[in-house]
Structure 1
Amino acid sequence: MFFINNFLARKYMPKLILFIEDEPTLQKTLGRALEQEGYEVQSALDGQSGLALVKRIKPNLILLDLILPKMDGFAVLKELKKDADTKEIPVIVLTNLESPQDIERALSEGATNYLVKANYELNDVVKKIKELV
């Protein structure tokens, strides 16, 4: 009975997205757009608290900025991917860094996808998320 209830709960509960981003306006705007699509969204304003929150809430997907206070996104990625409990969580990097070196580094550290903020509309980000969860 527990297995069936657990399976049904995971299937029908809203997918949980953690948005680690230090710009509150972007957090709110994208968070609202995702909630309108049926996702549950939690946020963190820095890498350190974001990493702690990941371990506590086990999101279905992480949106991660790279330029963050306390712990940058590269360090967060590295920590996520070396932990057995978090290494399988898809991570979409959403950042203003667009150099080939930054893109290569993030992908080699375990990012699932890399989006440059200036090149994408909110709808594009939502579409990428839908492809992954």
Structure 2
Amino acid sequence: MAKILVVEDELMMRDLVVRKLNSAGFDVKIAADGKEALGVWRSEAPDLVLLDLVMPEMDGFEVLKQMRSDPNPGLANTQVIVLSNLWSNEDILKAQNLKIQGYLVKAYYTPEDILQKVNEVLKK
């Protein structure tokens, strides 16, 4: 089964998403901030990253920039779904310009919706 990195600083949200993904059989890794996310991403090479944008240490936009500029094409092209409470058109466009596969506003999506989007992206 695919390996997914969940990058989320809010414990309750992270636990909900991780539980849903684990129950669907995914190999789930976690990170609570941007710096930790980059370390786990490099060492684990996940198939997909669920990425929050507002986090301590380093925000999700900077994480995306560093991911996309990695010299290893396998890592640089990791699929990413943004999972954030930022919902302005400017924020969404900024993330889309960093080659994401999806943008979900946390307040509007259930863990089941998130799982559905993960499955959709991984099937492409």
TM class by shorter chain equals over 0.9
* Count of residues in Structure 1 that have an aligned counterpart in Structure 2: 120
Q: What runs of 5+ residues in structure 1 fail to find an aligned partner?
A: 1-13
Q: Secondary structure at the match of 1:34?
A: helix
- 1:85, CA displacement in angstroms? 3.7
Mapping of residues 104-115 of structure 1, within 5 Å: 104-115=93-104
Q: What is the identity percentage for the equivalent residue pairs of Structure 1 and Structure 2?
A: 39
Normalising to structure 1: TM-score of the pair?
A: 0.87
Mapping of residues 35-74 of structure 1, within 5 Å: 35-74=22-61
Contact 1:17 1:40 in 2 (8 A): yes
* Residues in 2 aligned to 1:38 and 1:79: alpha-carbon distance in whole angstroms: 29
Larger Rg: 1
Q: Say which of 96, 105, 112 aligns to 1:116.
A: 105
Q: What runs of 5+ residues in structure 2 fail to find an aligned partner?
A: none
- 1:27, CA displacement in angstroms? 1.1
AA at the equivalent of 1:45 = A
- 1:64, CA displacement in angstroms? 0.2
80-89 or 39-48, larger mean C-alpha shift: 80-89
Q: Which residue of 1 aligns with 2:2?
A: 15
- Any runs of at least 4 consecutive aligned residues in structure 1 with deviations exceeding 6 A, and if so which? none
Normalising to structure 2: TM-score of the pair?
A: 0.93
Q: Which residue of 1 aligns with 2:76?
A: 87
